[in-house]
Amino acid sequence: MIATIKAEWRKSRLRPAFLIAAGVMAGITILVYAVDWYLALHPLSTRGGDRAVVNLATLYPDQFVNNVMGAAFPIGAAMAIVVGALFAGSEFGWGTIKTMFTQGPGRLTVWAGRVVVFGFWMLIMTVVLFGVGAASSVVVAFFQGHAIAGPAAVDLAKGIGAIWLVLFVNGSIGLALGVLIRQPAAALGIGLTYVLAVEIIAVRIIDLINNGQFKNVTEQFVNQNATALTQSFTSSAFGPATAPAISAEHAVLVLAAYGIGLAIVAAGLLRLRDVT
């Protein structure tokens, strides 16, 4: 198992998909901070006087964990699905999946090693997101002459865990589709369509049935829980906010179940089907 993980890491560490995804996450974070900083310093004129579009306090280091949570969905989720579909589906197109299964350990061992490496890459993307967010908040605080004080360590750990879980689960959708369809293009197309359109439409339709009588059904969807989990990270600096309909504990359990379940389903497909 360890040898499989090492081999998969050597093969994947310089794959453009992972590097570009991490770079895009970093670039979007910097852009969001830059735009919010500008909006915070240039209030809009209203009847009651000038009003800032963004509260400058939300851009300081003590709030950066709460501030970067918005990157998890939909941008982070879409990025993870693309990377997952490419990671799992490309091997079928290249024909290397047959070589992996005939030259080394069993199929399930190979798949387990690939899932571990993929999870590690999702962690790298998460760390990049938080690192760039922290650096951007320090820059804002420095130019605004604000004291630099970071968030509590426990809040930072919870934030990293939440973002990683959201990225891994959405990436697992791409992984499962890549194995099911055996090619990356269709897998990422279907995955993005589901997350950005199908699930949203389905939630709205179900909420309309019998005046929301089946609302508990929508609470089992992936990104309903991902959104609720990220929205649980907030503070008074962001203004009044309504409590999410789904608790953070429920969201973690549902997302963990999806991540494990999708990995098992994909493993079953690899184990039972002809890979040619």
How confident is the model over 147-156, as pLDDT tens digits?
898 899 999 9
Per-residue b or e along 37-60, where b marks 16 or more CB atoms closer than 10 Å to that residue's CB: bebbeeeeeeeeeeeeebbbebbb
Spell out the residues 6+ positions from residue 66 whose beta carbon is closer than 8 angstroms to its own: 58, 159, 233, 234, 235, 237, 238
Residue 276 CB coordination number (10 Å): 8
Strand-pair partners of 45: 50
State residue 217 phi and psi, 5-degree precision: -65, -40
Express each pLDDT in 14-29 by its tens digit.
888 888 998 998 998 9
Share of the chain above pLDDT 90, in %: 39
Strand-pair partners of 44: 51
Q: Delimit the domains of the chain by residue range.
A: 2-272
State residue 205 phi and psi, 5-degree precision: -65, -45
Spell out the residues 6+ positions from residue 84 whose beta carbon is closer than 8 angstroms to its own: 118, 170, 171, 172, 173, 174, 175, 177, 178, 191
Express each pLDDT in 54-101 by its tens digit.
888 889 999 999 999 887 778 888 899 999 999 988 888 777 777 777
The token pair at 216 is 């508990």
pLDDT for the residue 45: 56
State residue 127 phi and psi, 5-degree precision: -65, -40
The token pair at 113 is 């090693």
pLDDT for the residue 170: 94
Q: Which of 101-105, 118-122, 227-231 has the lowest mean pLDDT?
A: 101-105
Q: Which of 105, 86, 95, 90 lies closest to 7 in space, CA to CA?
A: 105
Is residue 191 classed exposed, middle or buried when 0-12, 13-18 and 19+ CB atoms within 10 A define those classes?
Answer: buried
